[in-house]
A and B are shown apart, each in its own frame.
Chain A
Amino acid sequence: MTGNSFEASTRLRDGVAVLDFVGDIDARAEGSLTGAYAEASQSRPSTILMNFERVNYMNSTGIALIVGVLARARKEGRTIAVCELSDHFREIFEITRLVDYMGVYENEASAIASAGH
């Protein structure tokens, strides 16, 4: 079995909760990812931004985790946005139609600016 890891940390920037993802989003990411979302929710932000800059790999289980986060956010009335998608991840988000349900931004600054308007 290959060694891999995933870490998710949270921070607030201009009222937006930012989730910084590092590593591989697969089955082993579930605890960290959902935990980070729960932590980010505690400040009751209207927007949660997932930063994919340091994501190396995502598989179908990872997609399911993102869908789960999106479903939970929807139920709680929050907006989910994503930034720093590689071309490949952007294509996966398009294939799965996740792009129809979240804001997709080139970088964090543009996502934050959009959330402020």
Chain B
Amino acid sequence: MRQADYDGSHEQAGGAMRQVEGGDAAPKGEERVLAHFSISSEPGNERLAMQQVTDAVQELALPQRTIKRLGTAVAEATMNAIEHGNQNRAELPVEIQVLASEGRLTVQIVDQGGHRPIPDVTTPDLEAKLAELDRPRGWGLFLIKNLVDEMEVGGDELHHVLRLSLHLEGAASDGQ
């Protein structure tokens, strides 16, 4: 993936987030790009990403429950990208695309830490954590995986690419 171009006229939050102008927003297959932006790798910016993504999916009229799940998963994935992928180096962007196709919504999160592999998702051992035999942290990937329908990890030697997908069939009728 090439480095995105930025448009300063859309700069928000003191430079923390920028809309990607045009750029590599060409949809894959039937996917439509609802949003494409990047954030700087500073702790807390995951909230900007969450807000931008939830704003972008408003037009899909998803149930509140689905939006909340997606928002938390995106925030969590972006936090990982900032902390673990980009090592909190503010100058490194986390690039986020929101893609919709019939029956599917995907959020793609790309960081610059591809040389550090993302670990496999494991189920945290809560009993061990409560017995203080394991550290209390380590919930991020597990939480993401359980909040979306699909979590796909990819990338190359330079980038992590995390794709979080929701199946939209039936989502509008889950009554929440």
Which A residues are closer than 8 A to B by beta carbons? 1-2, 4, 24, 27-28, 57, 59-61, 63-65, 67-68, 70-71, 74-75, 87-88, 91-92, 95-98, 100-101
The reply to whether A57 and B47 contact each other, CB–CB distance below 8 Å, is yes
Which A-chain residue is minimally distant from B49 (CB atoms)? A2
- A96-B124 contact, Cβ under 8 Å, with A59-B75, A67-B129, A71-B136: yes
A-contacting 9-mer, from B38-46, B110-118, B165-173 = B38-46
Least CB separation from B13: chain A residue: A2
Within 8 A of A (CB), among B76-96: 76, 79
Q: In the A-B complex, list the 8 residue pairs whose CB atoms are closest, starting with the nearest.
A: A1-B44, A60-B139, A64-B136, A67-B136, A88-B68, A60-B140, A64-B137, A2-B47
B26 within 8 A of partner (CB): no
Min distance, Cβ B109 to any Cβ of chain A, angstroms: 15
- What does DSSP make chain B's interface, helix, strand, loop or mixed? helix
On chain B, the residues within 8 Å of A68 by CB distance are 136
B65 touches A2 (CB 8 A): no
* Assembly CA distance A84 to B18 (angstroms): 36
The CA of A87 and the CA of B65, in the complex, are separated in Å by 8
Additional A-B contacts beyond A1-B16, A87-B68 (12; CB < 8 A): A1-B13, A2-B13, A64-B135, A64-B136, A74-B130, A87-B176, A92-B72, A95-B147, A96-B126, A96-B139, A98-B126, A100-B126
CA distance A9 to B146 in the complex (A): 31
- Give the residues in chain B near A1, CB-CB below 8 Å: 13, 16, 42-45
Distance A27 CA – B69 CA, assembled complex (angstroms): 20
**A114–B98 alpha-carbon span in the complex (Å):** 45
Q: Which residues of A contact B69 (CB under 8 A)?
A: 88, 91
* Chain B min CB distance to A24 (Å): 8
| Nearest chain A CB to B126 CB, angstrom units | 5
Q: Does B131 contact A (CB under 8 A)?
A: yes
How far, in angstroms, from A24 to B126 measured CA to CA in the complex?
22
CB neighbours of A97 from chain B (8 A) = 126
Q: Does B48 contact A (CB under 8 A)?
A: yes
Residue of B48, B132, B143 touching A60 (CB-CB under 8 A): B143
Return chain A residues, CB-CB under 8 Å to B46: 59
